[in-house]
Amino acid sequence: MLVTNYFYDLPEETKESIYLYEYNLILSKEVEIIQLHRKRSIVYEMKNKGIILKKFLSEGKGDNDIYALLELNSSPYFPKIYAYKKREFLFVEKVNGKTLSQVLKEGITNNELKEIVLKMIEAKKDMMNVDRYDFDFKFEHIYWDTENSTLKWIDLGACVKNPIGYSEEEKKKRIKYCINQVKQQFAKYGYSLLDNLEGL
């Protein structure tokens, strides 16, 4: 198991639980299953620790999650990764807030809507700046914390590395495509996205 710099900022008790997991000594009462992707992964929450454990199954061992989070560790739009073992598991920050789908269903102001979209675009730019692109873009993977006005993008299993990189022209094309995707999704919830976002 390898750990990142963020690991050392965790409380001692949490660090010990993570270390013990590698030796199958983590207590079952410390975790609960919060999501199950058949054949791909099981997602657990470490109770009262603000930590998510993702365990890879047979068809989910591509390690895109791990490598993407390591490369995006300086971006504010993605959860911190604390520890990992390639093709086995990773421990990440539990994000706050609600999914974008939930937020839109409950209602949102135009100003907040614009702020969310601008941060989504910045997150997408951060991905492409490390030559990655998420091919499984879903509103369920975007979390918005209204209280702190923070956005987090989770589940990077399809955030694939492009070995030849992205030109500036290609980045602009993909951002425009992303905006169009978002417009279509917002329209389903009765929202109209501001036209002036195209110039970003």
Instruction: Report the C-alpha gap between 62 and 97 in whole angstroms.
Output: 28
Indicate yes or no: pTM above 0.95: no
* 53 within 8 A of 46, measured Cβ to Cβ: yes
Fold category of 2-93 in CATH: Phosphorylase Kinase; domain 1 (3.30.200)
Domain ranges of the chain: 2-93, 98-199
Q: Which amino acid would we find at residue 90?
A: L
Instruction: Report the C-alpha gap between 196 and 20 in whole angstroms.
Output: 51
Residues 6+ apart with CB under 8 A from 180: none
What is the mean pLDDT of the segment spanning 179-198? 75
Model confidence at 37: pLDDT above 80: no
Measured torsion, CA atoms of residues 165, 170, 175, 178, in degrees rounded to the nearest 10: -90
* 41 within 8 A of 54, measured Cβ to Cβ: yes
**pLDDT tens-digit readout, 39-81:** 778 899 988 889 999 988 876 666 788 999 999 999 999 999 9
pLDDT-derived band at 25, boundaries 50, 70, 90: low
Q: Could you tell me which CATH number the domain at 98-199 has?
A: 1.10.510
Instruction: Report the C-alpha gap between 159 and 88 in whole angstroms.
Output: 18
Same fold, 2-93 and 98-199: no
CA proximity to 35, closest of 185, 118, 140: 140
What is the mean pLDDT of the segment spanning 143-161? 93
* Percent of the chain with pLDDT strictly greater than 70: 90
Instruction: Report the C-alpha gap between 79 and 100 in whole angstroms.
Output: 16
**pLDDT tens-digit readout, 116-143:** 999 999 999 999 999 999 988 899 999 9
Q: Considering the chain, what is the average pLDDT of its residues? A: 87
